Chains A and B, each alone.
Chain A
Amino acid sequence: MASSSHSVNFEDIPLSSFQHRHSGSSEEDFSPSVNLRRAQTDVHLRERRRQDSDKYHSYGGRGCRAQQCTLPSRCGGELLSSHMFHHGRECRPSAWYNTVMAHRRRGQGPNTEEEVVDEIADAMEGDERLMSDNVDGEIMRREALRDLIKPLRVKKEIRRRLTARRSSHRDSLPITRLNGLKYTISMQWYKVKQSSRKIEGTFGTGVGSYFRFLRYLFLLNLAIAILVCGFLLTPQLLVRAHPQQPSGAVATPSTTPATQTLTPAALRVEDEPSSSNLPVFTWSPLNPPANIDSCNDSLTSKEFGGLDWLTGAGWFDTTELYYGTYSSEDVSLAAHQHYSMPKAYFLVIFVLFIIYLVVILHRVVVLYKNNDIDIEHDMSASFVRKVFSSWDFSITERKAADIKHKSIYSELKEILQEYLSEEQEEDWLQRAKGWLVKVVFWTLVLAFLALLGWATYAMLDLDILHNTKSSAGLLLYPLIVTCIILVIPLVFTQVVRVEGYSTPRTRLYVTLVRTILLKLTVLGVLVGTWYTQATSVFATEDPKEPEDLPVLTPTPSDPDSKVETEKKERDECWETSLGQEFYRLLIMDFIIGLVMHLGTFIISLISQRTAREFNIGRYTVHLIYNQTLLWAGLFFCPLTPLIVVIKIVIMFYIQKFILLRCLNPDDSPWRAAQAETVYLVLTLVSLILSFFGYLFILLKGKTSCGCGPFKGYQNYVDFFWDIIDKDQETILTIVSWLFKPGVVAGILIILVILVYCAKSTAEGRAEMIKVLRHQLELELRDRAFLLKLTERVRQGPQTPREPRDLTQRSSFVFSDSKVHPADSSPAVHRFSDYRENQSMGD
């Protein structure tokens, strides 16, 4: 690259220096011409800029960023301030800035630091808006100074001068005692916070993104847990606290007067009868359950066993942990306010799903917009990223630095490989072979997954698991599943290396997808089997299929106990037992996680050298698996969010400790910005899948008639019919109104218009990007041209031939002719070359 013509220090050349030297004729000849040209370009630019910002409003900031100050001459050879760049609204440079630029154009550039200070301070003083005495002026001054790209000393000096001349007296008292205390406290708090940032410091942004994801899920689940507690748990607990009265009877405890003063309206505002100072409920079961007698015994409390914490069975059966315990009654408050538990249950779960869906979708869209769109359309960006932003400046450890060096090295190597292979143009045979290998491996993996699914199914049928009624028997099986889920991904990580994917990132994503598939398969088979088993029992009520009982129920081995078992079957709540399974999976997963971390810790204690690395991918998938369990179990075990929140908190501290004590950072290229999007997309997929699962259960599923909020209904759908039956009128009117041709057509038209608008906006933006890129190219050529001019003038006085050329040149700038790459080569162009080129271009 012959960069000689460009390798001029702008600060040193600028127009000022040579203009001083060639004062006299050449200056007079030259500067008007430059100014003329500049005026012309400015006109064009301004017009275009205005159009752009009108048309592409949201694009304003970026558009201006690309256009502003590309001409170095206009910037006086350096960028003074980043002020106008990051404020979308403040696209135009402010007055003081223009003053400085004008100075420089006139050739009065500063040479020493004092002069810089003088210049800027003077310019700022001349700016009325900036120096105005109100709050706006104060803020503007602050920002203007802060955004100045100058050393702090200079900034301080300028500020001192400004304040001195504004003659505002600020007392320079030492820090008061109170403030001192305040700082001390805030410093302490800061240190606490800093310890969590330490992770990012030692392990880079990849691990940081994992922990950010963890925090995000934590907050989300916390919010959901609060909702569940407020709308489901509290009413239910209140119901429990006031034991059930005989049907029809109205309980009026002694504290009635206090509560009856509460107006129904106030309750409606709160929308939940959950406040604890409101312990009074009058009971009026509007929906007397059909077989209330047979259900009573299932609600009796059981003994609390030590292993119950692990199995979630026994004592927990009758707690609010599970679906089965929730009341099917309407809680009636005060006068005419009813809190219908079935409706509440249904609505809460439904609303929770909608919230999850909306929140995660929103986040995905935001992240995608911020991080991915630009990159996808621009291949060169990936290269730039690898060189200019590959070093993580937050690294503070020798170890991490070494690993970073290594990973950058391998990445660059890979790029080289790619370029080389591009040049050599792989022949089709090789490519076909590559594809074949991939297809074969995918088939193998999928077959393996299918096999695993079948194995899980077979395992469920094994008598050995059913026969043991003990808690250990219940635990065996989640244990196996969890082990499968934790071990197989390790195999996948190895397998993918053989397959020959070109970049490590693809490898990572392929493994990620496969792991997710694995988890979904296992979970799907589990839930599916449980579900069919459970429902088939209650649907057919056929005692001839003892192996189809839910896991909880022991297989009747001798005919004597058959009657008993049958009775038990009826009382057994399949939703509850399903909920227990989810509980067990969650707990098991937690315990095995703990054991693994402990193992890592012990190993690192024993041998200092064999430190393992923190595999972000695996940990992330694990987190997503947790989240999937939460969603799948939400209906059957409404308190899962609470459990998961606690789990996440404990896991966070353990992982942080382990990470800082005994793990190495991962050396795989894990891009923080994109990785987060990928995590969330995968989470979204699992959410949608479990949503469909619920939809299926809702439409096809049989309720277990003996328990839960929906007891008394045969199917879940019946519940809807019931609601619809109750207020037939309103629903009929709504439905008939919805299906009027006019309404349908209206909705369709609106949708079409919306789609059209979105499409054209997208096209417009794409066009805009093209225009801006083009403009950028032109501006750069512009700069090259001006540099050549200065070079030329510097070499010797020139006969005043410029004006004509310049006007021609400026017309060229904004003609739409394509810039040829050959044009832009940095060869030693003479000024006349441009004319020739341009005439050719025309």
Chain B
Amino acid sequence: MGNKNTTFTEEELEDYEDLTYLTRREILVAWGKWKGLVGGQGEPDRVTRYPEEDVQKLPELQHNPFRERITRVFSSLKDSRMSFEDFLDLLSVMSSKAPLQLKAHYAFHIFDYNEDQVLDTEDLEVVVERLTGDHALLPEEKSKLVEKLLEDTDLDGGGISEEEFKHLLTKCPDFTHSFRFSV
């Protein structure tokens, strides 16, 4: 992997290092992974935006119930296609060094299925559905759960806004542990 450093110039690496929470070698590892993901033949380049199916081959995403949301949120044009830089963004947020608020911001948008900037009943039901996977809850159980959740957390009615969401997560020390990749 080490001899592929020629793809980056010193300056580019420095750029990436400064702009993300990754270290140099993490960036290089990321490049290796990226090549493994999208470069079937030949050298992939950094600007081309690859379809989400390619990106979702990443082991961490493969079994993640929110994978299509992740690719969508991190795609810079919001079309679920990702370039290498978007991928770096993803890894940066998922690194252990990223602050809670940043993680919370992206988590919020990942959970916000209908993209109305608020986590409402609709979103939460989908989230719960995804979380339980094959073991589906009954519809009335689901709605009961969501109702309770909103009752407990929603201060002003109308769903959980991003600010409320962040506030909730500050009380939840597990979140930073769970919302990261182990790479």
- Asked if A25 is at the interface of the complex by the 8 Å CB criterion, the answer is no
Tell me the bound Cα distance from A65 to B171 in angstroms: 12
Contact bitstring B37-66, A, C-beta under 8 A = 1, else 0: 000000000000000000000011011111
Tell me the bound Cα distance from A824 to B154 in angstroms: 10
A784 touches B3 (CB 8 A): no
> What residues of chain A lie closer than 8 Å to B89, measured between beta carbons?
151-152
A residues contacting the other copy or chain, number (CB 8 A): 102
Q: Mind listing 13 A-B residue pairs with CB under 8 Å?
A: A1-B121, A86-B100, A175-B9, A187-B1, A198-B182, A378-B171, A384-B149, A393-B64, A393-B179, A394-B180, A401-B63, A408-B133, A419-B144
B158 touches A826 (CB 8 A): yes
User: Interface range on chain B: under 10, 10 to 19, 20 to 34, or 35 or more?
Assistant: 35 or more
- Asked if A381 is at the interface of the complex by the 8 Å CB criterion, the answer is yes
> What residues of chain A lie closer than 8 Å to B114, measured between beta carbons?
7
The stretch that binds B, out of A166-174, A436-444, A726-734, is A166-174
A170 touches B11 (CB 8 A): yes
The stretch that binds B, out of A48-56, A139-147, A510-518, A807-815, is A139-147
> What residues of chain B lie closer than 8 Å to A393, measured between beta carbons?
60, 64, 94, 178-181
Question: With A86-B101, A175-B5, A393-B179 in contact, do A375 and B86 touch (Cβ < 8 Å)?
Answer: no
> What residues of chain A lie closer than 8 Å to B25, measured between beta carbons?
183, 186-187, 190
Question: Which residues from 1 to 51 on chain B have a C-beta closer than 8 Å to any C-beta of chain A?
Answer: 1-3, 5-6, 8-11, 13, 15-16, 18-21, 24-26, 28-29
Question: With A183-B5, A186-B25 in contact, do A153 and B85 touch (Cβ < 8 Å)?
Answer: yes
B183 touches A175 (CB 8 A): no
- Asked if B139 is at the interface of the complex by the 8 Å CB criterion, the answer is no
Question: With A6-B118, A9-B117 in contact, do A70 and B163 touch (Cβ < 8 Å)?
Answer: yes
> What residues of chain B lie closer than 8 Å to A184, measured between beta carbons?
1-3, 5
Residues of B at under 8 Å CB distance from A? 1-3, 5-6, 8-11, 13, 15-16, 18-21, 24-26, 28-29, 59-60, 62-66, 76, 83, 85-86, 88-89, 92, 94, 99-102, 105, 107, 111, 114-118, 120-121, 124, 127-128, 131-135, 137, 141, 144-145, 148-150, 152-153, 155-159, 161-175, 177-183
Question: With A151-B76, A395-B63 in contact, do A1 and B150 touch (Cβ < 8 Å)?
Answer: yes
B6 touches A175 (CB 8 A): yes
> What residues of chain A lie closer than 8 Å to B5, measured between beta carbons?
175, 179-180, 183-184
A156 touches B85 (CB 8 A): yes
Tell me the bound Cα distance from A5 to B114 in angstroms: 15
Distance between A91 CB and nearest chain B CB, rounded to angstroms: 13
B117 touches A412 (CB 8 A): no
B161 touches A146 (CB 8 A): no
Question: With A1-B120, A396-B63, A397-B63 in contact, do A183 and B128 touch (Cβ < 8 Å)?
Answer: no
> What residues of chain A lie closer than 8 Å to B178, measured between beta carbons?
205, 389-394
Tell me the bound Cα distance from A66 to B169 in angstroms: 12
Tell me the bound Cα distance from A201 to B183 in angstroms: 8
A412 touches B137 (CB 8 A): yes
A412 touches B167 (CB 8 A): no
> What residues of chain B lie closer than 8 Å to A200, measured between beta carbons?
182
Distance between B117 CB and nearest chain A CB, rounded to angstroms: 6
A415 touches B173 (CB 8 A): no
A825 touches B127 (CB 8 A): no
> What residues of chain B lie closer than 8 Å to A385, measured between beta carbons?
172, 174-175
Q: Which residue of B lies closest to A379 (CB)?
A: B152
B149 touches A395 (CB 8 A): no
Q: Which of A1, A388, A397 has the most B CB atoms < 10 Å from its CB?
A: A388
A396 touches B158 (CB 8 A): no
Distance between A60 CB and nearest chain B CB, rounded to angstroms: 14
Tell me the bound Cα distance from A205 to B166 in angstroms: 22
> What residues of chain B lie closer than 8 Å to A476, measured between beta carbons?
none
> What residues of chain B lie closer than 8 Å to A197, measured between beta carbons?
182-183
Question: With A79-B162, A388-B168 in contact, do A3 and B118 touch (Cβ < 8 Å)?
Answer: yes
Pick from B18, B24, B60: contact of A396, CB below 8 A.
B60
B156 touches A781 (CB 8 A): yes
Question: With A152-B88, A184-B2 in contact, do A381 and B28 touch (Cβ < 8 Å)?
Answer: no
> What residues of chain A lie closer than 8 Å to B144, measured between beta carbons?
416, 419
Tell me the bound Cα distance from A781 to B163 in angstroms: 13
Tell me the bound Cα distance from A184 to B29 in angstroms: 11
Question: Which residues from 769 to 795 on chain A have a C-beta closer than 8 Å to any C-beta of chain B?
Answer: 776-777, 780-781, 783-784
Question: Which residues from 643 to 685 on chain A have a C-beta closer than 8 Å to any C-beta of chain B?
Answer: 671-673
> What residues of chain A lie closer than 8 Å to B124, measured between beta carbons?
387
B158 touches A146 (CB 8 A): no
Beyond A388-B111, A391-B131, A671-B174, 7 additional pairs, beta carbon < 8 A: A82-B101, A153-B86, A389-B174, A391-B65, A391-B178, A413-B141, A825-B157
- Asked if A194 is at the interface of the complex by the 8 Å CB criterion, the answer is yes
Question: Which residues from 363 to 406 on chain A have a C-beta closer than 8 Å to any C-beta of chain B?
Answer: 370-371, 374-375, 378-381, 383-385, 387-398, 400-402, 405-406
Tell me the bound Cα distance from A175 to B14 in angstroms: 11
> What residues of chain B lie closer than 8 Å to A339, measured between beta carbons?
none
Distance between B169 CB and nearest chain A CB, rounded to angstroms: 7
Contact bitstring A516-556, B, C-beta under 8 A = 1, else 0: 00000000000000000000000000000000000000000
Distance between A66 CB and nearest chain B CB, rounded to angstroms: 6
Tell me the bound Cα distance from A159 to B85 in angstroms: 15
Tell me the bound Cα distance from A390 to B132 in angstroms: 10
Pick from B62, B66, B148: contact of A383, CB below 8 A.
B148
Question: With A175-B10, A383-B148 in contact, do A672 and B174 touch (Cβ < 8 Å)?
Answer: yes
